[in-house]
Amino acid sequence: MNKGTLLQELEIYRSFLQYSDIVFSFHSIDGDFTYVSPTSYPLLGYKPEELLNSSLYDFSHPGDRKKLKDVCLTQSYKRVKYRFCRKEGDYIWLETTLIPYCENDEQKGFSCISRDVTNQIATEAQLEENKEKYRLLVENFQDTVGIITKSGHWIYINDTAKKLFGVTRKEEVIGKSIFDFISPASHGVVKRQLLQNGIKEDVEFTVSRHDGLKKYVQVKLIPTTYKERETFQILIRDITEQKKTEEIMHRTEKLSVVGQLAAGIAHEIRNPLTAIKGFTQLLKKEEHNDNAYLEVMLSELERIEDIVSDLLILAKPQPSKMEKVDIGLLLEDTVDLFSSEAILHNVEIITEIELADPYIKGESNKLKQVFINLLKNAIEAMPDGGTITVSAMRTSNGRVVAKIKDEGIGIPEERIPNLGEPFYSTKEKGTGLGLMICNRIIKNHGGTISIESEINKGTTISIFFPSFGPSKIPANIK
């Protein structure tokens, strides 16, 4: 750049000098001040003559010095932000436009137009900091937060959304329609809310994920403008756990009512039962009656007594008498109890006990009750007869599993969750207590029940007992 043009530009820049927040300066190639505008005093604390012949670099913050030097020597217009040490010793941020001064293609020096941008930088830093804070807050918010278009397409989601929708990358959601993630049954309610321009109160719906999991959510839509588009901010709260807890509480409440009811009935039955049993025993003794019927009556009465005490368990858990039980023998015994009943219903019961070590820890009376209930259900599921297979084996991880398999009417899939609920019965004369008692007893044994069923093909109920090898049976159990 020649001196002529430089002078022309100087004229332009001279007009800047009236602004006290702009300093105009000339420098030699070493950075020494050769001219400084009077505004240096209000801005930098130095009068121009105090700066002359000292180097600009000496006033810059050590951390910015190299950057500044590089820019000053690049032989082109450049803008740079750096910290300048004022006479009072504090730093201010200057934004400087550098104009190199060259002669015969060789840089001889440069001029600077510098502006105080301290406030602006502070504001920018503050904004950046706030932005980061809000970003972290939104990304890690325990609720899903997102932005959707008026038609329901995702524009933005936070990190939490990935967990809700079961995806690993946000791209798997962004651009897609919100309806791709909602159970069809909930489409209507969401569509309505989009049309009504947002939700006055929260709505609940179900999210169905690609992995088959269902999540209950509560949603709020707030109309908002995003990048000059009319959109909705969407807030989704996962209430699956809450729903589960409510369900459990509901069940527990029902159970305790049943418990009280059962206890009441059991008490009422017990008294006449004691009388009948007593008189039957008397009959047998007094008349030296060896009638086989009396024997059967007595054993059946004992069973009723056991069942009645089971009903009492529902009300208050009794101390259990855990002992070493041969589960194979117990299953065979239970099946024997059903021999006449099976013939009556044209049912064949096959046992397949494959246990080298048949022992588990449990209460044989209670376990018998479980298998009685299950066998009863199996027979009742086959009005036209069929085969029931009772099997027991050890699983690969050492647990004992007992299975009752029938060829009956089966249970519709959606009904399975209801099984074990008190009074849930599909039978005209059913009580809906059988499976509940089974659940209760198996739970007390630390076991689990699983149900597999196919309509008109049959049902298999599997009971898993905790792993318990012979050497692991504690010594205090006989």
Binding mask 346-375 for ligand ADP (x = CB under 6 A): ---------------------------x--
Residue 114 touching ligand ADP (CB under 6 A): no
How far does the chain reach from its first CA to its final CA, in angstroms? 107
Is the Cβ of residue 37 or residue 377 nearer to Mg ion in the bound state? 377
* Residue 381 binds ligand ADP (CB under 6 A): yes
Question: Token pair for residue 200?
Answer: 């006055």
Find out whether 107 and 132 touch, Cβ atoms under 8 Å.
no
What the block records as the tokens of 283 is: 């009959």
Nearer to Mg ion, 43 or 375 (CB): 375
Q: Which is nearer to ligand ADP, 51 or 347 (CB)?
A: 347
Among 425, 439, 444, 448, binds ligand ADP (CB under 6 A): 425
Residue 65 CA neighbour count, 13 Å, CB half: 12
Residue in 71, 349, 435, 463 binding ligand ADP, rule: CB under 6 A: 435
Of the candidate spans 3-11, 151-159, 322-330, 424-432, the one that interacts with ligand ADP by CB under 6 A turns out to be 424-432
Stretch that binds ligand ADP, among 172-180, 334-342, 383-391, 408-416 (CB under 6 A): 408-416
For residue 103, how far is the Cα from the chain centroid? 71
Near ligand ADP by CB under 6 A, which window of 130-138, 140-148, 225-233, 431-439? 431-439
Mark 259-268 as b/e (b = at least 16 C-beta within 10 Å): bebbbeebee
Distance of CA 133 to the CA centre of its chain: 25
CA distances from 329 to 269, 320, 368 (A): 30, 21, 11
Radius of gyration of the chain (CA): 43
C-beta of 459: minimal distance to Mg ion in Å?
Answer: 12
Which tokens hold the place of 462?
Answer: 């599997």
Q: Which of 194, 185, 250, 242 is nearest to 218 (CA)?
A: 242
- Please give the Cα distance from 344 to 348 (Å, whole number): 10
Site for Mg ion, residues 275 to 304, rule: CB under 5 A: none
Query: Rounded to 5 degrees, what are φ and ψ at 437?
Result: -65, -40
Residue 389 beta carbon to ligand ADP: minimum distance, rounded to whole angstroms: 12
Q: Is residue 449 part of the contact set for ligand ADP (CB under 6 A)?
A: no
CB-closest chain residue to Mg ion: 434
Please state the closest distance from residue 425 (CB atom) to ligand ADP, in A.
3
> Which phi and psi angles does 470 have, rounded to 5°?
-60, -40
Nearer to Mg ion, 208 or 373 (CB): 373
The interface partner of residue 97, options being ligand ADP, Mg ion, none and the CB cut-off 5 to 8 Å by kind, is: none
- Residue 91 in the binding site for ligand ADP (CB under 6 A): no
Asked if 221 touches ligand ADP (CB under 6 A), the answer is no
Q: Applying CB under 6 A, which of residues 160, 334, 377, 391 lies at the interface with ligand ADP?
A: 377
Of the candidate residues 14, 209, 427, 457, the single one contacting ligand ADP (CB under 6 A): 427
Binding partner selected for residue 387 from ligand ADP, Mg ion, none, CB under the kind-specific 5 to 8 Å limit: none
Q: How many residues are listed for the chain in this entry?
A: 478
Mask: binding to Mg ion, 355-394, rule CB under 5 A, as x and -?
----------------------x-----------------
Task: Closer to Mg ion by CB, 362 or 434: give it.
Answer: 434
Choosing from 430, 454, 457, 467, the residue that interacts with ligand ADP (CB under 6 A) is 430
Cβ proximity to ligand ADP: between 224 and 426 the closer is: 426
Nearer to Mg ion, 408 or 434 (CB): 434
- CB closer to Mg ion out of 186 and 377: 377
From the list 89-97, 161-169, 396-404, 430-438, the region that binds Mg ion by CB under 5 A is 430-438
426 binds, among Mg ion, ligand ADP, none (CB under 5 to 8 A by kind): ligand ADP
Binding mask 432-461 for Mg ion (x = CB under 5 A): --x---------------------------
The answer to whether residues 305 and 273 touch, using CB atoms and an 8 Å cutoff, is yes
Q: How many binding residues for ligand ADP (CB under 6 A)?
A: 22
- Nearest-approach distance from CB 434 to Mg ion, in angstroms: 3
* 259, 262, 264, 270 alpha-carbon torsion, rounded to 10°: -130
How many residues contact Mg ion, by CB under 5 A? 2
**Shortest Å distance, C-beta 349 to ligand ADP:** 13
d(CA 403, CA 351): 10
Contact residues: Mg ion, CB under 5 A: 377, 434
Contact residues: ligand ADP, CB under 6 A: 373, 377-378, 381, 406, 408-411, 419, 424-427, 430-436, 459
